[in-house]
Amino acid sequence: MRFLGVMLVSSAVVLGACGGGSKDAAPAASTPAAAPAAEAPAAAGAALPITGKTWEVKMIGDGNAYKFEPADLTIKAGDGIKFTVVSIPPHNVAFDVAQPGLADAAVKAQIDANMGPNKMGELSSPLLLNIGDAYTISFAGVKPGKYLFNCTPHLAMNMKGSVTVQ
Ligand SMILES: [Cu+2]
């Protein structure tokens, strides 16, 4: 009995030592736990494919004027828009992240996800460098509303448009 008692005391000492050691490790253990939370926003809003009509918008420049044609479109939920370079590239499609229509973070995340992985930045398509290049955006999963976009290279020349999702 005396021997067993010594064994129990020894175990308690060992456990105590381990307990002290784990305090030092605590900050490291909390770091991995915080990482998934930081990545969560990037996972919000998976891209959804077009389920309805694909509308056509031309991207046009003639040296004096730069425009989307048609500049304003009204589409239905699940539709998409195919933007095609007709003249004087480069053009792109960029949604102003600060516009009132995108105050809803879910809408912003859905459009951004639908714009695919090759964006120049949030809500900003890659530059289309050649005549005939096209870029299609699905508006599936995007709540009804009016969303304004522009062409980054020609924003100063008022190359702007809008899509109203019904
Ligand atoms: Cu342009």
Residue 70 has a CB neighbour count (10 Å cut-off) of 13
How far is it, in rounded angstroms, from Cα 124 to Cα 151?
Answer: 9
Give me the architecture of the 54-165 domain, per CATH: Sandwich (2.60)
CA of 29 to the centre of ligand 1 (A): 50
Using one digit for the tens of pLDDT, what is the confidence trace for 22-38? 444 444 444 444 444 43
Report the range out of 7-11, 63-67, 71-75 with the highest average pLDDT: 71-75
CA of 110 to the centre of ligand 1 (A): 24
CA of 68 to the centre of ligand 1 (A): 8
Using one digit for the tens of pLDDT, what is the confidence trace for 6-23? 444 444 444 444 444 444
Residue type, 149: F
Q: Where are the domains of the chain?
A: 1-43, 54-165
DSSP state of 49: -
Residue type, 24: D
